[in-house]
Amino acid sequence: MAASPVLARLLIDLSPLRGGRGFRIVFAVRLISLFGGGFRLVALPMQVYAMTGSSALVASVTIVNGVASFGGTVVGGLLADRLDRRRLMLVSLAVETLVVGLFAVNTYLPGGPLLAVIYVCATVNGVIGTMGLIAQQSMVPALVGPQRLAAAGALFALTTQLGAAAAPALGGALISLGGVGAGYLATCGIAAAATAAVWFVPPVPTDTGAAPVGALRAVADGLAFVARHPVVRPLLLLGFTQGLFTTPMVLIPEFTDRVLGGDAALAGLLYTAPAAGALLASLTSGWTGRVRRTGAIVPAAVAMCGVSVFLLGAGRSAALALFALALLGCCQAVEEILRYSLIQAHTPDALRGRVNSAWLAQATVGGSLGAGLMGGLAALLGTAAAMVAAGAVGAVLAGAITVSAPGLLATRGVAPPLPDETTD
């Protein structure tokens, strides 16, 4: 039976997958890479803890990978604007395959795995993996065209949510069945297949812009574009605000225990609720490619993220907490889809790599600082009051950024930049 017209307009738009082989391959490679990353998210902490019995050393590996990923955003953005993005994606996947292979070899060393090898591999994987992700995001507009950017953003958001929800669970199951080493070997084989698939992505011409300049000047040019653009600047500020003030997940264990009086089962449901909300929003995102007032919807979604965190802290029932977290995930997915499509549409191809690196940097830094902020507020105010305060500030700041950005409010649909949009 055919879907009703209303339902058809709501369902996620799959036209980018039908529109060309290039995006289908990139989509599949992204999904595979996220599942590989999800496996390492489980395997590395378990392996390091089994080796050392130290949670501090487990955390140090995560920190090393995070710092390396941040460094990769700077280098990756510059390279994505100067080199063939398809080739950069290919090289990054090939190196990732090699790194996962080294993880596997290290696991089977006669004297046991070496911690130094894990640190080196985590560093290389953080830098190279981020570079490949930037190249991947930067080449999408050329593969799908401006009219399908929102649909491509929704599909990318869907892969992120599927990876976050299912990859760690599958990774844990794989480790329990065959051990960490066997999991690394399987992941290495999958990464090798993904690398081979990129060969079949059609060449994507890259606009390298005017005459080449020095690396520092090129980075400065990208930052200057972000700082002065009336649409891109507030979009990145909104993303940073969302990451900084609406990241309550670090407080879920204490909130479940002290506020809701729940157990581990309830905590598990609370951790799952944002992913469920985000998945629902992605699967019903067909409207994002047709809505006109995109510039107003993004800040409204970010403000609603703040309202969701406020409701989470203000409530005292498990049902309200689950609703608030599902609403948070839903609003995060909507703002991510529309922010991605608008940033790609309003960024010249010659700068797209550097702007995408700024996108990833604000997400990484905002999320990390947000976790620390929530922890600090909880120590000062208590868990529930910290959520109420952070959510309220996040919603107010989203409104303030919107009021100060008439260029964003005036944006209609997802369209290429106009000639006069590069300055206020």
Q: What is the pLDDT of residues 107-126, one digit of tens each?
A: 999 888 899 999 999 899 88
Residue 228 located in a structural domain: yes
pLDDT of the residue at 363: 83
How many CB atoms are located within 10 Å of the residue 340 CB? Answer: 24
How many CB atoms are located within 10 Å of the residue 254 CB? Answer: 16
Could you tell me which of 143, 230, 226 has the C-alpha nearest to residue 418? Answer: 230
DSSP 68-136: HHHHHHHHHHHHHTTS-HHHHHHHHHHHHHHHHHHHHHHHT-TT---HHHHHHHHHHHHHHHHHHHHHH
Measured CA to CA, the distance from residue 243 to residue 245 in angstroms comes to 6
Contact 390, 245 (CB under 8 A): yes
pLDDT of the residue at 210: 55
pTM for this predicted structure: 0.82
Return mean pLDDT, the chain.
85
Q: Which of 168, 198, 228 represents a domain boundary (last residue)? A: 198
pLDDT of the residue at 214: 75
pLDDT of the residue at 380: 93
Share of the chain above pLDDT 70, in %: 92
Task: Report which residue type is found at 196.
Answer: A
Measured CA to CA, the distance from residue 42 to residue 197 in angstroms comes to 26
Residues 232 and 381 in one domain: yes
Residues 168 and 230 in one domain: no
Q: Which residues contact 261 (CB under 8 A, 6 or more apart)?
A: none
Least confident range from 74-78, 161-165, 245-249: namely 161-165
Residues 17 and 135 in one domain: yes
Q: What is the pLDDT of residues 177-195, one digit of tens each?
A: 778 888 888 888 888 988 9
Measured CA to CA, the distance from residue 231 to residue 310 in angstroms comes to 27
pLDDT of the residue at 7: 63
Q: Which of 143, 166, 198 represents a domain boundary (last residue)? A: 198
Measured CA to CA, the distance from residue 404 to residue 33 in angstroms comes to 38
Residue 416 located in a structural domain: no
Measured CA to CA, the distance from residue 365 to residue 156 in angstroms comes to 21
Q: What is the pLDDT of residues 286-321, one digit of tens each?
A: 888 888 888 899 999 999 999 999 999 999 999 999
Could you tell me which of 385, 247, 366, 246 has the C-alpha nearest to residue 307? Answer: 246
Residue 127 located in a structural domain: yes
Q: Is 370 helix (H, G, I), strand (E, B) or coil?
A: helix
206 pLDDT higher than 70: no
Residue 234 located in a structural domain: yes
Residue 358 located in a structural domain: yes
pLDDT of the residue at 230: 93
pLDDT of the residue at 289: 81
Task: Report which residue type is found at 52.
Answer: T
Report the CATH number that the domain containing residue 248 is assigned in CATH. 1.20.1250.20
Residue 417 located in a structural domain: no
Contact 227, 369 (CB under 8 A): no
Place 8 in a pLDDT band, splitting at 50, 70 and 90: low
Residues 367 and 236 in one domain: yes
Burial 124-143 (b: 16+ CB within 10 A, else e): bbbbbbbbbbbbbbbbbbbb
Angle of helix 383-403 relative to helix 232-245, nearest 10 degrees? 170
Count: domains in the chain: 2
Average pLDDT value for residue range 78-91: 89
Instruction: Show contacts of 415-420: CB within 8 Å, 24+ apart.
Output: 415/146, 415/345, 416/146, 416/345, 416/346, 417/231, 417/345, 417/346, 417/347, 417/348
Residues 128 and 231 in one domain: no
Measured CA to CA, the distance from residue 10 to residue 231 in angstroms comes to 26
Residues 327 and 401 in one domain: yes
Residues 180 and 155 in one domain: yes
Q: What is the pLDDT of residues 335-374, one digit of tens each?
A: 999 999 999 989 998 899 999 998 888 887 888 788 888 8
pLDDT of the residue at 5: 65
423 pLDDT higher than 60: no
At 3, give phi and psi (nearest 5°): -70, 150
Measured CA to CA, the distance from residue 395 to residue 308 in angstroms comes to 9
Residues 144 and 239 in one domain: no
Q: In Å, what is the CA distance from 74 to each residue of 135, 139, 222, 312, 349?
A: 12, 17, 10, 36, 17
Range of the domain at 113: 13-198
Measured CA to CA, the distance from residue 148 to residue 308 in angstroms comes to 30
34 pLDDT higher than 80: no
Which token pair is 205? 């011409």
Measured CA to CA, the distance from residue 349 to residue 334 in angstroms comes to 24
pLDDT of the residue at 1: 46
Measured CA to CA, the distance from residue 88 to residue 129 in angstroms comes to 11
Residue 85 located in a structural domain: yes
Residues 169 and 275 in one domain: no
Could you tell me which of 250, 244, 417, 243 has the C-alpha nearest to residue 341? Answer: 417
Residues 247 and 172 in one domain: no
Measured CA to CA, the distance from residue 307 to residue 275 in angstroms comes to 18
Q: What is the pLDDT of residues 215-263, one digit of tens each?
A: 788 888 888 999 999 999 999 999 999 999 998 988 888 899 889 998 8
Residues 45 and 112 in one domain: yes
Residues 171 and 253 in one domain: no
Residue 203 located in a structural domain: no
Residue with the two structure tokens 């008439």: 406
Q: Which of 142, 169, 198 represents a domain boundary (last residue)? A: 198
Which token pair is 110? 């006669």
pLDDT of the residue at 4: 62
pLDDT of the residue at 184: 87
Contact 23, 16 (CB under 8 A): yes
Could you tell me which of 12, 274, 312, 44 has the C-alpha nearest to residue 165? Answer: 274
Measured CA to CA, the distance from residue 347 to residue 153 in angstroms comes to 15
